[in-house]
Chains A and B, each alone.
Chain A
């Protein structure tokens, strides 16, 4: 969808900037804010592009670089780290063959280390896009990743 069409659904009020950036980012298959998106937001709110760029760059949920279709937010907060998130991160990195912050060559997954996701009762935990996965162990992580890969293959 064209960024200018997306921003047209919002008020011309700076309070709408964060929801607008979320909508722009979510609409892109690569889960990021393109320069066209930022320009559309700035134009709609009648603010400088630098303002929008500054806001987009500040918040960790926004990305200015292309990312995978599935964003894996692996929690590495105090509780998850206590419960073994270090091993979970290593498992993910080895299964996907990328480091955190990177995207798989097929454009399917990006690993992002996250601060507390507020799901500590099932630590160690992660989110993949909007889904929560808790009580992780290496086998379960492998299953979850396989499952998404298979679903993706079926779609194609």
Chain B
């Protein structure tokens, strides 16, 4: 029987999130005070040594991003942007952090800003997260009063200003370059990479873009050291990961454990098992831009590399459990409708591809078994073309659910 190991969520539910004094009493802002006594390079080095990987979904090493942003030069100012545009279906971990421990994110952002020498930061929060915005605004105001934000923070020569930006309902703005476009007051259209944000980001300046969970991991890394952090999780995915378990389980919710936990343990031990007590039919890992896995994958190790090697994704940490009696055809139809709706229309393969894939999935309803297999084959071909030719991750994502459905559930879908 496994249990949670709360590092990022250690305060959640235990302190009053509207009180900076509660946060400080729980050791809060101690990491910032420690960091600011060190040279910025040392702070970046410590984070790189911890092996922390970006928790937004891609699992990119945070240290590499930070070093690139720290090394970039500009005559203007550098920015730190927190990606709090949590829109991946089945994902609600960032909301949990922002609503229940907003100061943790603020502290993580100031540490990151100090490390790379940023003068200004933005938290881009999705517009529907009213409570997150409210709690963060309170936290920022309080942090300013106590000089954890603002000019010459804690008597140092480092100054940093932080603002919240509300999004307005666009999944695509969760992609880092699109998010920057939106922050600049534009339609949420993706930019072509490279240049990467570390080189040319917000207003063309060097910018570090990190997810909420990633930034919220920094205070404990700085407080306890990279070695302590590395003693948790796996060699390639150190630390803890927050999983959001939803769907047909007894106790859906947010669970933080060491990375590398078994899928079975997440579902059975933490989420209380399936709602009907029967073996689950499928799990969608990582959200809509995620992969289906069959019940035979109960022993899967939940870390970035192992899942990738096996052809699945950890993504944002979403674990959507599909119970024994559910049908997969309406589920894939819903996912493809989502991509169709969220495609921005800037590039042709995604604009046409997402519509076409959804239309194909609707044909599954009335098709016979053999015809369904042929449709799935066709859908796989089309999503491959999209993955190769689309401009941004949105058009490159439908292949994830389509290919994994094709691989593991062809026979199920044929006779469903």
Measured CB to CB, the residues of A under 8 A from B are: 13-19, 21-22, 45, 54-55, 58-62, 73, 76-79, 81-83, 114-123, 127, 130
30 examples of A-B residue contacts, CB within 8 angstroms: A15-B185, A18-B182, A19-B166, A21-B168, A60-B168, A61-B128, A61-B169, A62-B169, A76-B334, A77-B288, A78-B89, A78-B287, A79-B89, A79-B247, A79-B320, A81-B334, A82-B247, A82-B322, A83-B248, A114-B169, A115-B87, A115-B341, A116-B88, A116-B91, A120-B89, A120-B90, A120-B244, A121-B246, A121-B252, A123-B247
The CA-CA distance from A119 to B90 in the complex, in Å, is 8
Q: Which residues of A contact B335 (CB under 8 A)?
A: 78
A60-B170, A81-B334 are contacts. A120–B187 as well, Cβ < 8 Å?
no
B252 with A61: CB separation less than 8 A: no
- Min CB–CB distance B324 → chain A (angstroms): 13
A78-B90, A82-B326 are contacts. A123–B187 as well, Cβ < 8 Å?
no
Q: Which residues of B contact A115 (CB under 8 A)?
A: 87, 89, 169, 171, 338, 341-342
B103: interface (CB < 8 Å) = no
- Min CB–CB distance A65 → chain B (angstroms): 15
A61-B128, A78-B334 are contacts. A118–B168 as well, Cβ < 8 Å?
no
Q: Which residues of B contact A127 (CB under 8 A)?
A: 128
A77-B338, A118-B129 are contacts. A59–B168 as well, Cβ < 8 Å?
yes
Which residues in window 253-276 of B have CB below 8 A to A?
Answer: 253-254
Q: A55-B186, A130-B131 are in contact. List 5 more A-B contacts (CB 8 A).
A: A16-B185, A18-B165, A18-B168, A115-B171, A120-B246
A58 with B170: CB separation less than 8 A: yes
The CA-CA distance from A92 to B2 in the complex, in Å, is 41
- Min CB–CB distance A52 → chain B (angstroms): 9
Q: Which partner residue on chain A sits nearest B288 by CB separation?
A: A78
- Min CB–CB distance B265 → chain A (angstroms): 19
Q: Which residues of B contact A77 (CB under 8 A)?
A: 89-90, 288, 334, 338
A15 with B246: CB separation less than 8 A: no
Within 8 Å by CB of B185, from A17, A62, A117, A130, lies A17
The CA-CA distance from A62 to B170 in the complex, in Å, is 11
Q: Which residues of A contact B186 (CB under 8 A)?
A: 14, 55
Q: Which residues of B contact A121 (CB under 8 A)?
A: 92, 244, 246, 252-254
- Min CB–CB distance A44 → chain B (angstroms): 12
Which residues in window 94-150 of B have CB below 8 A to A?
Answer: 95, 122, 126-131
Q: Which residues of A contact B129 (CB under 8 A)?
A: 118
Q: Which partner residue on chain A sits nearest B330 by CB separation?
A: A81
A118 with B126: CB separation less than 8 A: yes
The CA-CA distance from A116 to B320 in the complex, in Å, is 13
Q: Which partner residue on chain A sits nearest B202 by CB separation?
A: A15
Within 8 Å by CB of B166, from A22, A79, A123, lies A22
The CA-CA distance from A56 to B188 in the complex, in Å, is 11
A18-B166, A79-B246, A83-B247 are contacts. A119–B92 as well, Cβ < 8 Å?
yes
The CA-CA distance from A60 to B341 in the complex, in Å, is 10
Which residues in window 69-89 of B have CB below 8 A to A?
Answer: 86-89
A118 with B95: CB separation less than 8 A: yes
Mask of B324-367 contacts with A, CB within 8 angstroms, 1/0: 00100011001100100110100000000000000000000000
The CA-CA distance from A117 to B166 in the complex, in Å, is 14
Q: Which residues of B contact A13 (CB under 8 A)?
A: 185
Q: Which partner residue on chain B sits nearest A113 by CB separation?
A: B341
4 tightest A-B CB contacts, nearest first: A14-B185, A59-B168, A17-B185, A60-B169
B43: interface (CB < 8 Å) = no
The CA-CA distance from A69 to B166 in the complex, in Å, is 21
- Min CB–CB distance A151 → chain B (angstroms): 19
- Min CB–CB distance A86 → chain B (angstroms): 8
Q: Which residues of B contact A73 (CB under 8 A)?
A: 128
Q: Which residues of B contact A14 (CB under 8 A)?
A: 184-186
Within 8 Å by CB of A82, from B166, B184, B188, B331, lies B331
Q: Which partner residue on chain A sits nearest B163 by CB separation?
A: A15
Q: Which residues of A contact B86 (CB under 8 A)?
A: 118
Q: Which residues of B contact A76 (CB under 8 A)?
A: 334
B317: interface (CB < 8 Å) = no
Q: Which residues of B contact A15 (CB under 8 A)?
A: 122, 165, 183-185
Q: Which partner residue on chain A sits nearest B251 by CB separation?
A: A121
- Min CB–CB distance A125 → chain B (angstroms): 10
Q: Which residues of B contact A60 (CB under 8 A)?
A: 168-170
